[in-house]
Structure 1
Amino acid sequence: MHFRLPAQTRALAIPEIIISILHEMDMQTLMAAQRVCRTWADQIRRSRSLQKALFFIPASEKSGAGTRVYNPMLARAFQSAFPSEDLRDASNASDSIEDVSLSDFDLTKSPAKREMYLRPEASWRRMLTQQPPVSTVGLFSMGAGPMGLSWHQERATRQDEGLRMGALFEWLVHLGRHEWNSATIAICLGGAEPVNMPLEIIRPCTSVFTDGINGDWRAMAADFDLVLLASSASTCVDPEGPDDPDWVKSSDEIAWEEICETYSELGLTVAGLKMETYNEGGAWWN
Structure 2
Amino acid sequence: MAPKRGFGATWWGRRWLEVLESFGWDTRLRRGRAYARAGNVLEIDIKPGVVSARVQGSRPRPYRVSIEVKTLSDREWERVIGVMAGRAVFAALLLAGEMPRDIEEAFRQARLSLFPRSAGDIRTDCSCPDWANPCKHIAAVYYLLGEKFDEDPFFLFLLRGRTREQLISALREKRAARVEQEQGEEIAPASPEPAGPSLEGQLDRFWDEGEELAGLRFLPVPPEVEAGLLKTLGPPPFWKGKEPPEVVLAGIYRLISRRAQEEWPGDSDRGAS
Could you tell me the TM-score, scaled by structure 2's length?
0.22
Relative to its length, the structure with more strand (as a share) is 1
Could you tell me the TM-score, scaled by structure 1's length?
0.21
Relative to its length, the structure with more helix (as a share) is 2
* Rg larger in structure: 2
